[in-house]
Structure formats: structure tokens, C-alpha cells
Chain A
């Protein structure tokens, strides 16, 4: 279909059109790391010398982080790929081959693939932190041979921040959303592709800083960073606040692209009612981020300001510690829906194709996604049950419980689609169904957290730990794997090994439930969360949980190996192996660099999930007029 030489050269697939990989292509990433390292230590040492202190103190660490981040970005290729050009300098050639995966690039597909690799790495390290936590909890007492209580606090703080902001926040939105968003809308790219490229390059320094925070004293606050504990723990809290702010900034850059692309770059004929469900899910999640992130973002900076500039926002004579809680939960409870909404939408994208049935109650499902976004945006309030007057509690409780109504629309749409369908139970479908089951348990147990009398009993116990792991690990990560398997052929041109994919799905489901369901019982039995020490009568159940968790964690080697070997030598995929009507399957597998070459354009004449017998094809291709 390529109409020019340029397109012809760029029409290669994920492998760069046959261009072989050579190790020198990795050099920009090595250069970025080196520049970041030099930037960090130069700034930290100079600041320490000027202020007559040591480099692990908050101010040198802060400036070190800022200059380290700038150095990392400078080394990433952002200068030649964006800045130099913006100032009227020489225009770097567009990267269309394998090299675009290893340096700053404006191609959203390359950005998305980098997201996947980053997410896998972050999940591995944060998962290892979880294993460390469970080793500690094998015994009721603090075990000196493994982690001290101080190190235990650091470990679960790191686990929480990285799993939430570097994994859950971007696994579906980043790795799949940024790849599919333009393609599903019939566009070649997103509205601001360089900003999207930048969003990925913000992630590694932030995650590395959080992981390395113990080197400068760590932090004792968990993933919340609550003052005044933040100010009284090690300097590592600086890396926490800066890392969290950077990860949020990265999410927002993506969210701006999502909304701008949906509003302005839909294909001809794609009215809002015909926008694919997965895109609706991305939109609903992005809306929460745009509206709610500022309060939390400013909170992290104000927390930092108290530590390095001498302000008193949360501590000291004019400090209001509870204000930080307000700002923190303003986004970070709704953030759960930033994770979950794309997962919901992913089910609604996969299930109609798998069942070959039209999506049931499509408009209600869209209303459900937007309703969860709107109601979910207010859910931070239920974190104040212990801090507000009795008069406000029923209001906060009602707001929180209301979110179950639009969530119900999503579930009913999914179940109605399956009803009477001829479901092909492939691994992505199996994982989607498991994710729905897990989220159902997570959601139902959440009602108890939203209920004031029950919450006073369950608050701060392992019940809460079980609840949010069911929603995030149980729903989001299961859905992530489902999406990876579903779109793997589109990205790599090969199929995932179905046997091992299903084997791991069942492994994951069984050990996930064996790990986290007993935590509900532990919570009811009175086991506090966030502590390394617990009462001896809770020991047997904790031992069971820990052993199950080790199996659960070890099981992730299966999809890692399966994805790698399927990519290297899996069965070649056809253009549309699932029989989906969605637009991304109209291009060859793997997706060419230029998805929709000049010469023809698409017109959308119906929703992409109408699989009813005799339903017309939703997309009509026609030759473009000259000059387009």
C-alpha cells in the first residue's frame, strides 16, 4: 500500500523492516545512564561542598536528582530528536528501525514497547520486594537474620510506590494504550508524539531513585509519605517525593495525549458513539489524572519544600499535617480507577470478539466507564472516617458506595455479551474472566471498607491489604497479561504459546487466591498492616500466605519465558488471529512503522464491536484524493 519511497522504507514491522539489531544501537541508553550518573553526583557534591554538608542530606540529594534527571534526558537523544530542532537547528532523521527503541523517539509504538519492558522490570523488582516482605512475615517476631523493622518499613514503602506508580499506573495505559490509541482511532500517531516520548524517559530515573532511596537513609512512611514522619525519617524520603512527582508528571503527559488525540484525531465517521471501548477506558482514566493530579502533585512538592527550603506547610508552627492527607488521597484513591478503568475497557474490547457477540448495552457500558471516572474522582473522602465529624461520615460513605453502580454497568455489559455467545476460551479471555472474578471480590469487600461501622473495625488491618490487592493485582495485572497475550501478535507478528499461557493463568489464579484470600481472615482476626511483628496466634495463616506468595512470585517466570520464546520462535501470526473487527487488526502483523500509509483512508460506519450476524463491517476503506 505504500505510495512513496519514504513510506516503503518505513513500512517495516516492529523489527524495523528487517534491519538487524547491533549492540551500538543501545549506546544512547548507556549514554543517558552515564549522563544521569554524572549529573547526579556533580550536582550533589557541589551542593554539599557549598552548603558544608554531606551528599546524602536532603538538599544535595534533591539537586542531585534534578540534575541527574536532566542529564539522563540529555543523553537520551532528546537534544537531537526534539530540542535542537525546536530552536531551528538541524532536523535529525526520523528513526524508523530498531534503533528507535533505544533512544528518544516520537513513535508511540516504540514508546509503548519501552513501557512494556520497563513495566516488566519494575514489576520484577517490586515483586522481589514483596517476597522480602513475606519472608519477614514467616515468623511473628522481627527476624534479625533477614530484615530489621526499619528495613522492613523501607521495603514495603518501595514495594508500594513502585507497584502503584511505576507498574499499575502504566501497564495497560502505557504498554497497550499508547500503542493502540492512535491506531484504534485511525490516526498514525498521537496529538503530541514527542511529549508522549518524553513521558517514558521520565520513568526510569524516578523508579531507580525510589529503589536506591535506602542508600541515603531510606524512608519509613510507606508509600504515603505522611508528614511529620516524612521529615523525621531518612533523607530517602526526598527520593520518594521526587520519584512520585516525576511518575505523576509522566502519567499526566500521557493523559494529555490521550484526551487531545481522542478529541481531535478520530477517523472520519468516528462519532463518540463509535469510539472503541478500550479508548473510552483510556479517556475515563486520563480525565481523572488531569483533574485530580494537581492536588497530589503539589502535595509532594510542598512536602519536599518543608524538608529542603524551610517552609512549614505540614510541620512546625503553621503546619497542617492533615492537609497532606487530603492532597494525597485527592488523587491516590481515584488513582485506583486510573488503573482499573483501562482494565474494564480491555475486557469489553476482548470479550465481544471472543464470543462473536455484539457488546451488550454499549451505551450503558460507556456511561459506566465515565460514571466510575466521575464518582471515583470523589472517593478520596472515605480515607477521612477517622478524622472528620460524625455528620460527614454518611455522606462520605454514600459517595464511596455509589461507585458500585456504574461499575455494575460494566459488569452487566460484559456478562450480557457472554450470554449465549460461542466463547473461544483463549488465554486472554481466560485471564479477563479471572480478572473480572477477582475484581468482583475486591469490589464487594470494598463495600465493607466504605461502610463506616465496618471500617472502624477493619481499618488498618490486613483486610484492607487483601481488598486492594484483589483490585490491583487481581484485576489490573491479570488484565495486563490478558492484553499482552491478545495484542502480542499485532506487535511481534507471532502467537504466544497457548498452553503455557493458560498454564500460568491457572497457576496465577490459584496462588493469587491462596495468597490474598487468607489475608481477609487475618484482617478480621486483628492483624495490623504495615508492621513486621504480629501476635503468635496469627503465625500459621501467615506461614500459609507466605508460602503461597513464593509460588505466586515464582510463577511469573512462566509468562516471562513464554513471552520471550514466543517472540523469538513462536508460531507466525496471521493478520487477524482473533477474528476481531477492531481497526488495529486491519494492518499487517507486526504493525508497520506507518500504520496507515497514504493512498487510502478509512471511514467509520459503525462501532467496532458489533458481531451480530449480518452486521456491516465497521470500517470502509477508500482511495484518498490526490494531495492527501
Chain B
């Protein structure tokens, strides 16, 4: 069957390629976070200064680790072609994303930016906050697409898969962030 849409004709990369190549943007984003994380020891020194909001940080970390459940659920549903059911998981993960953004902003009040630790903490968590904004918007886009044009959602399922992978990556980045900034 010949392709009757010019856009599809011009973008024939298989799902395997679209999903596999997403590793490279994540690798780049991970290296940026690694640069920030290493900067914590240069500017913040060893040890965690007094006044750091450990409780909020720990709660956010627990939330992120628990979010692995709906994330893995979404992946399984997508793999089985249950797109509509996966959208419920997407909704939950989007809400968690908003909670994380609010939580990050909340922690900024605990350490002044003008200190070495505070500066690198705010910069690193702010950068992670931008990632959370991106992944939250990506979930919103997937939810809207899934509801408005389910056929297109199914035809481009690699997009939803990549959004879920991005969330899994965020769990990893946040966990490393917590270890580096709150425990190390």
C-alpha cells in the first residue's frame, strides 16, 4: 500500500529507530545533570549545610520512586496496545510532575542562593525543574492527542513510549540528585 501522506512518506523511520535514538537526547541531558551534580562538591564542599529542607527532599524522592509503578504500568499498556488505559497512568504521572515542580520551588527557600551550596543546589534543582516542565507538558500533549486523535496516537506510539522513558530517566536523575545533595 503506497503512503498517501507526504509527511509520513518523508519520515519513515521505524518505531525501533525513533525509540532507540531517544537514548541520545537522554544521554546529553544526563551529562548536563552530571556536570551540575559534580559542581555540588566544588562549590558546596563536603557535607550538607544546616537548614537544608531534608524532609521535603526525602518526600519528593519517595514520590518519584513510587511513580515507577504507574510508569511501568503505562509501558506495559502501551506495549499491549491499550492506549486508552495508558492515558490514566499518564494523567497520574503528569500530576506527580506538577507536584515535583512545586516541591522544587518550595525547597529553594531553605538555602540562600548566595552561598556556595545554595547556588549550586538552586541551579541543579532548577535545571531538573525545567526537565519536569518538559516531561509534564509531554504527558499533557500525549493525553490530549490520545483523546482527540486516538488513531494518530496509536500510529505514533513511539512518542508515548519515549515520554514514559523520559519519566523513568527523571526518576534516575532525581534519585542521584537526592543522594548527591542531601546525603553525600
Q: B-contacting residues of A (Cβ < 8 Å)?
A: 3-4, 6-7, 9-10, 86-89, 91, 93-94, 96, 106-107, 187-189, 191-193, 252, 256, 259-261, 263-265, 290-291, 293-295, 297-298, 301-302, 305, 309-313, 316, 318, 320, 323, 327, 593-594, 598, 626-627
Contacts and interface: CB of A to CB of B under 8 A. Distances in A.
Nearest to A194: B11
B28 A252 contact: yes
B34 interface: yes
21 contacts: A4-B2, A6-B6, A88-B146, A88-B152, A93-B6, A94-B10, A188-B9, A191-B17, A191-B18, A259-B21, A265-B13, A293-B28, A294-B32, A294-B34, A305-B119, A311-B113, A311-B118, A318-B115, A318-B119, A327-B35, A593-B10
B6 A311 contact: no
Interface string B147-169: 11100110000010000000000
A106 B11 contact: yes
Contact of A106 (B2, B7, B21): B7
A88 B147 contact: yes
Contact of B5 (A6, A86, A88, A265): A6
A106 B123 CA distance: 33
B21 A192 contact: yes
A193 B11 contact: yes
A358 to B, nearest CB: 31
B11 A259 contact: no
Given A93-B6, A309-B122, 15 more contacts: A6-B3, A6-B6, A10-B9, A88-B148, A187-B12, A191-B17, A191-B18, A264-B17, A294-B35, A295-B35, A309-B113, A313-B119, A313-B120, A320-B42, A627-B1
A297 B32 contact: yes
Contacts of B116: 312, 318
A293 B16 CA distance: 27
Nearest to B27: A290
B149 A88 contact: yes
Contacts, number: 144
B33 to A, nearest CB: 8
B113 to A, nearest CB: 5
A510 B83 CA distance: 65
Contacts of A318: 43, 115-116, 119
Interface stretch (B73-81, B137-145, B175-183): B137-145
A453 to B, nearest CB: 31
A10 B6 contact: yes
Contacts of A316: 114
Contact of A260 (B6, B24, B122, B140): B24
Nearest to A253: B25
Given A298-B39, A310-B113, A7 B148 contact: no
A298 B32 contact: yes
A575 B16 CA distance: 34
Contact of A87 (B3, B21, B28, B144): B144
B54 interface: no
B2 A3 contact: yes
Nearest to B31: A294
B10 A107 contact: yes
Contacts of B20: 260, 263-264
A574 B34 CA distance: 51
A294 B9 contact: no
